[in-house]
Amino acid sequence: MTDLLEETGVVGEVKAWLEENWDPELTVAEWWERLGTAGWAAPTLPVGSYGKGLSRGDAVLVQQAIADHGALGAPGGLGLLLAAPTIATHGTPEQVEEYVRPIVTGQRAWCQLFSEPGAGSDLAGLQAKAEQDGEEWIVNGQKVWTSGGQVADLGMLIARTDVDVPKHRGMTAFIIPMDLPGLEVRPIRQMSGGASFNEVFFTDVRVADSMRLGAEGDGWRVALTTLGFERDHSDGSGGSRVGGGWQQLLATARAMGVTADPATRRALTDAYIGDRVETFVNRRAAELARGGTPGPEGSLGKLIWTEGMRRTSDVISRVLGPALIADTGEWGTYAWGEHVLGAPGYRIAGGSDEVQRNIIAERVLGLPAELRVDKDIPFKDVPK
């Protein structure tokens, strides 16, 4: 694939650009400004929206070329992965300039204000409401599982704006500054010891209509765009990976001296096969999404990824035994605790495994849709 891209000029182009522009004397802010405005921080974004219009597979090779050159990579975060492509898809030219540019240049951090205590897998059942008051909207309600909410500058909000239409048609998307009066963020302590998730409360929060993303009532379409990009990246193949991967697993088994055990070798072989299958599925999904919004293929990659995390947890538990939960000082032992404790949560994050299976069944396999008794009735009449 690398040779093919070099023939088409993508890798060669970024290498030539790096030769002219990379300067180790630049500050991080100066470099990110240069990288982002040139379109290399988020090359999957459209041309004209601070991107190059590349597929995710091409973008991974661009990232590798930047790393091989010894240059700093892009700023990363949910802004780059989710907010920027969503705004580039649904935003006005003014919103692209005002919000995408600071994302690709590393100036603003973002969070995603979608899930609620009563609307997780059934996101369209959300009840946080936004009521129009002249040129402003007044937002009230609660969001939960908001990753990075305590450090985000802005958030992507989906709120209920019309209860007289079916639930999928009565939502609107907004861009929310996280320091608005009436907005409160409360971290949630996880069993792994971290607190990356948050609850977010809105009490009469006023948002200008210019912060609306897309048309009024078009929030579900905006949300599907964001979720498509989220599933496209939540498989861990977008340049960084949550938890331990195959190489770390093998290195730990070797360090513990258990690779000669037949049962452990079988478990390691299964893990390796799963890792390779995941890689091939993700490459295929990247090609299918070339130049557009990721489709339902991303759900398969997400399922394979979470299954791989579970499998890795099982294998490392066999490899380490009691050392998994005791800090013995040996290399690679206690460090796996975060993976094992965190892995179950990723079966929910980015859309639960059950939702992913429904998407595959209905949108890929063409099976009959799940029965939805509330599909065509006004949201105000749906039992709560």
- The active-site residue, picked from 94, 131, 184, 230, is 230
Q: How far apart are CA 364 and CA 357, in angstroms?
A: 10
Query: What are the φ and ψ backbone dihedral angles of 331, each rounded to 5 degrees?
Result: -60, 135
Taking only Cα atoms into account, the Rg of the chain, rounded to an integer number of angstroms, comes to: 22
- The string of DSSP codes covering 311-343 is HHHHHHHHHHGGGGTS--S-TTSGGGHHHHHHG
> By the 8 A CB rule, do 51 and 42 touch?
yes
The structure tokens 């009469």 sit at 204
CA distances from 344 to 111, 183, 246, 283, 306 (A): 21, 30, 18, 25, 8
> By the 8 A CB rule, do 317 and 324 touch?
yes
3-state helix, strand, coil in the chain (%, to 5): 50, 15, 35
> By the 8 A CB rule, do 111 and 155 touch?
yes
Q: How remote is the C-alpha of 358 from its chain's centroid? A: 20
Looking from the CA of 273 toward its CB, the CA atoms found within 13 Å total 6
- Sign of the torsion formed by the C-alpha atoms of 346, 241, 272 and 290: positive
- Nearest to 137, CA basis, from 179, 84, 175: 175
> By the 8 A CB rule, do 231 and 299 touch?
yes
**Catalytic (active site) residue 98:** no
Q: How far apart are CA 203 and CA 319, in angstroms?
A: 50
Looking from the CA of 381 toward its CB, the CA atoms found within 13 Å total 9
Find the length of the chain.
384
> Angle at the Cα of 259 (from 253 to 265), degrees rounded to 5?
105
Active site residues: 230
